[in-house]
Amino acid sequence: MILNCKQKVNLFILVNINYKTSKLLRIRNITLKSDNNNFKNLGVKSVLNPWYVTGITDGDGSFWFSIIPNSKLKIKYEIKLGFSLSASINPANYKLMVLIDEFFNNIGAIIINPKSNMYEYKVQGFKNCIVIRNHFLNYPLMSYKLVSFTLWNEVINLFEEKLHLTDEGLLKIVSIKNLFPKGINSELKSIFKFYPINLPVYNPDLKFLNFYWLSGFINTDGSFFFNIGKYITASITISQSINSYKLMKGLIDFLGKGNLSKPHLSKTRGRVLDINISKFNDVLYLTEQLKITKLYGAKYLDFLDFCKGVELIKNKNHLSEEGKNKIIDLKKGMNQRRTKFEY
């Protein structure tokens, strides 16, 4: 297959496919030429706003490092650095993953985990992680993920000074690893007497909050709803771990709209907080802002359908049986019910 375009396109080839195990489907990059029609369908175009990239990472990003036995090294262990972003598997999110890879100058790869049914954009290696680190120093994280990034950056600093190759540096890295949610495994616990390190204080600089960041954050942790009852209403919800309370409170202040829920239990995320925006004028205001700053992937398609319904409500068309049915049909094709992913 030949694709034509003015710039290089990343296409991904699946290998090692094994749906009966938790093995990852690995995807590697190849460069192809293209013609305009096919390139348009692939959806690879403008560079993402850097604040959008930070916002989407605040939602679904991960900063990690692995400690792996390696008898060839003097300290007997190898440290592997990495960064990843995840998204559910569908054609629209595939386009988003490609855009993110392009934003970071194609330093990563996309893998598929069939067990979790998720895409994962993955960047590995010290030099590549420096690129990632520099982005988030210039466009800082706002959620509790800032704490993980701060710890991860400490490990990068040890790499820069070559201290990861020393026993002392390794011990510090093991001690830092122990502060991450999953901590260290029992084998490392039995080998190393790691010393206590204080967890960084979560203190986001909320003066940087802006609608480009919010677009990325909503792209992962936001939802668009229609409530069908005696009256039809539209609402926008933003959810986040209770650990990010400072951010959620700051978002209410930034928007000047919405209500912050009490903490409640989520099946997949533990205790969470929700920002609920349900007053129609507030919903209308936020949708107009998001039209400017843009969303991507499957969430963008939900947003387009949501805007159609909001327009019907704005023009009072939802009061007719025809308008009500249109909104019901829109709702049936949004969020987890979505089956159409073409832009």
75 assigned to some structural domain: yes
**215-238 tens-digit pLDDT:** 999 999 999 999 998 899 999 999
State the pLDDT confidence band at 6, using cuts at 50, 70 and 90.
very low
Q: Is the pLDDT of residue 10 over 70?
A: no
Q: Is the pLDDT of residue 333 over 70?
A: yes
Q: Is the pLDDT of residue 22 over 50?
A: no
Which range (16-20, 253-257, 278-282, 291-295) has the least confidence? 16-20
Tell me, yes or no, whether 182 and 54 share the same domain.
yes
202 assigned to some structural domain: no
Tell me, yes or no, whether 175 and 268 share the same domain.
no
Instruction: For residue 104, give the CATH number of its domain.
Output: 3.10.28.10
For the CA atoms of the chain, what is the radius of gyration?
22
The pLDDT > 90 percentage for the chain reads 71
Residue that terminates a domain, selected from 133, 160, 191? 191
Identify the residue with better confidence: 113 or 10: 113
State the pLDDT confidence band at 42, using cuts at 50, 70 and 90.
very low
Residue 176: Cβ within 10 Å count: 19
Domain that holds residue 230: 207-337
The answer to whether 215 and 53 have CB atoms below 8 angstroms apart is no
State the pLDDT confidence band at 24, using cuts at 50, 70 and 90.
very low
Residue entry with tokens 């990852």: 24
244 assigned to some structural domain: yes
Question: pTM for this one?
Answer: 0.85
Give the strand pairing for 264-266 and 270-277. antiparallel
